[in-house]
Amino acid sequence: MKRTQHFLIAAGFTLFSSAALAVECNAPELPNVPDGDSATQSQMEQAKAEVKDFAQESENYLSCLQDKAADATADERREIAQMYDAMLRKMNEASAEMQDAAHDFQERVADNMQKADAATQDEQDAIAEVYRDMMDTLRTASNEVKEAWQDYQQDTEEAE
C-alpha cells in the first residue's frame, strides 16, 4: 500500500514538474512545410521563414530547458533530457522536411526551365528554318534575275 502511495506521489510529482516545465518552457509547434512538387515560390519563401522562426524558437526552448536543468533534481533532469531530445528530433524533422521540399521545388523549377528552354529552342529553330527558306528563295530569285539579265545582255548583243 505504501509502495503504491509512493509511486502515485512520484508520478504526480513528475506530471507536476512536466506541467511546470511546459508552462515555463514553451516548445514551438512544427512549421507547416508545403509539398515542393506543387508549392509556389511565395509558399516556399513563407515556409523558409517559418522554419527559420521555428529554429529560433526551438533554440529559446532548449535554452530554457538547460536553465531549468541547472536547478532540477536528478529525475527532473532525466525528464528535461527527454524533452530536449524530443525537441532536437523535431528540429531535425523540420529541417529534413524543408530540405526535401526545397529539393523537390528546385527540381520542378529546373524541369520547367528546361521545358521553357526547349520550347524557346524549338521557336528559334522554326525561325531559323523560315530564315533559311527565305534566304534560299532570295538566292534563287537573285540567280534568276542574274540569268535574266545575262540573257537580256546576250539578246541585246546578238541584236546588234
- Tell me the pLDDT tens digit for each residue of 70-123: 999 999 999 999 999 999 999 999 999 999 999 999 999 898 888 888 777 776
- Domain segments of the chain: what residues? 2-159
Whole-model pTM: value is: 0.61
Question: What is the band of 9 on the pLDDT scale with cuts at 50, 70, 90?
Answer: very low
Concatenating the DSSP letter of every residue in 66-134 gives: HHHHHT--HHHHHHHHHHHHHHHHHHHHHHHHHHHHHHHHHHHHHHHHHHHHHHHHHHHHHHHHHHHHH
Angle CA 42–47–50, to nearest 5: 130
Question: What is the band of 58 on the pLDDT scale with cuts at 50, 70, 90?
Answer: very high
**What is the distance between the alpha carbons of residues 118 and 107, in angstroms, rounded to a whole number?**
16
Cβ pair 87, 58 in contact under 8 A: yes
**What is the distance between the alpha carbons of residues 112 and 24, in angstroms, rounded to a whole number?**
48
